[in-house]
Amino acid sequence: MDCSICSPVSHILRPPRNSICQGCYDGAKSIIAFLNKQEHNRDVGDKSNFSDLSQSNSSKGIGNALKWVKEIKEREEGLNEKLSFLGGLVGVFKDGTHADIKVKPGNGSSILAHRALLAARLDIFKNMLETDGCKAPANETICLPELNHEELESLLEFLYSGSLPIDKLDKHVYSLSVAADKYEIPFLQKICENRMLDSFDSSNALNVLEISDVSSNTKLKEAAMDFIIKHTEEIVFSTRFDSFSHKNPHLTVQITRALLMDMKNKRHINT
């Protein structure tokens, strides 16, 4: 049987000579389910449309997928234009134009910034910059001692632009994740979380586990623990594990318990 969608031979649906293969069928069903879910999320707040939702969704097939993709593409282009527009703030930050405050890292030189932007971005910074309801004097310095100069510069760049080049994010993802948790920056937390979830390997799994514990990120911690259990021998016998276990004895205990439970479950399945 030739698939009328993916087969290089036949491009016309002529049952029973050709039909749709299992892969294309499953893909089409998944696309339709995804589109219906998105429409439900968009329309659920509209009570007038709620009663007709089931009927309207059931009548919509994969033919609407292209329309939906085009809509998403247009939204993406609009967001990219918006980001490009807001990106002008990064130039102001890097040039130090009209900067009126210094932000000092744990080591290294201070970085010039703008108190209005810092206060607008974060309530914690807003509180730092106010004393008894009055604005702090110009050129005052605030200190973020847990970050070094490069990490602080990356954090500030993110606050100005809402994004970071991938090389900077990868280089400072752990410190930025901790800073995002401490200074209550959920958008940055989510970006760091997704990046760590997408880049698991045996060399960084223990780092991710450690960061997830510091920031109380349950999703990240479970993913890191699962990865470590699946690659136990490679990770536990590494030199990194020695220093990790001395620094994080409670996490080492949790790894040991998780490993024993995994072994127990496998024995139970085999029996």
CATH number where 179 lies: 3.30.710.10
Number of domains in the chain: 3
Whether 114 and 180 map to the same domain: the answer is yes
- The answer to whether the beta carbons of residues 206 and 241 sit under 8 Å apart is yes
Q: What are phi and psi of 165, to 5 degrees?
A: -60, 145
Whether 97 and 178 map to the same domain: the answer is yes
Task: Specify if 113 maps to a domain.
Answer: yes
Q: Which of 32, 58, 86 is the last residue of a domain?
A: 86
CA distance 192 to 9: 45
Whether 175 and 215 map to the same domain: the answer is no
- The answer to whether the beta carbons of residues 41 and 58 sit under 8 Å apart is no
Task: Specify if 4 maps to a domain.
Answer: no
Identify the pLDDT of residue 56.
46
* Range of the structural domain that residue 109 is part of: 93-184
Identify the pLDDT of residue 120.
85
CA distance 198 to 190: 12
Taking only the tens place, the pLDDT of each residue in 101-135 is 899 999 889 999 888 888 888 888 888 777 544 45
Range with the poorest average pLDDT among 69-78, 180-189, 221-230, 252-261: 69-78
Task: Specify if 213 maps to a domain.
Answer: yes
Range with the poorest average pLDDT among 7-21, 70-84, 178-192, 210-224: 7-21
Whether 105 and 176 map to the same domain: the answer is yes
Q: In what order do the strands lie in the sheet with 101-107?
A: 111-113, 101-107, 141-148
Whether 40 and 78 map to the same domain: the answer is yes
